Amino acid sequence: MNWSRPLIPDAWAPAITALEPEALVRQGFRGLIVDLDNTLTGWNKDFAAPAVEGWLRRARAQGLGVCILSNNGAARVRAFADPAGLPSVAHAGKPRRAGYRRALALLGTSADETAVIGDQLWTDVLGARRMNMYAVLVQPVAPREFFGTRSLRWLERAWVARLKRRGLGLPFGA
Ligand SMILES: [Mg+2]
């Protein structure tokens, strides 16, 4: 991987629903590996907001495969993924690569035709970088979460602000 840019996403969006599935298809993507907590839903909420449900339907109508990749436990992840009809990988251990490889196998897509979407630089984006995959950072859905995650947020915000000032990787909004 390119170690000079381990924490720089390729794109940034205020929410997953701000991404255009049609645009992702035009960019050549066939699959999406999507984080669960604070990307698709608020922390430990096991249902999708109507806007997110609609977005998932739109993505699939465009032929995009969607696989959930989460560091959270299997019960939590399946409570969301199974009713939504989405394949999922729990206990993913992001930023380790094994979970991404499992998600790619479930999607049946290669790393270069699959985009990673998540709200955390240190897990979602760093893991995507290690896999040489396209990474989209989204603003977190809800602020309530583990203390450990919370304590990294100020760093993340400072980093994203710096990226924005430099005009890097922000084609979807900001
Ligand atoms: Mg998350």
- 119 near 139, Cβ under 8 Å? yes
What pLDDT shows up at residue 174?
A: 39
Using a CB cutoff of 5 Å, list residues around ligand 1, an ion.
35, 37-38, 119
Task: Tell me whether the omega of the peptide bond preceding residue 95 falls within 30 degrees of 0, making it cis.
Answer: yes
Instruction: Domains for the chain: give ranges and CATH numbers.
Output: 11-166 (3.40.50.1000)
Q: In this predicted model, what pLDDT tens digit does every residue of 109-140 receive, in sequence order?
A: 999 999 999 999 999 999 999 999 999 999 88
pTM for this predicted structure: 0.83
In angstroms, what is the span from residue 165 Cα to ligand 1's centroid? 24
User: Which residues contact residue 103 at a Cβ distance below 8 angstroms, ignoring those fewer than 6 apart?
Assistant: 33, 67, 69, 87, 89, 92
Centroid of ligand 1 to alpha carbon of 119 (angstroms): 5
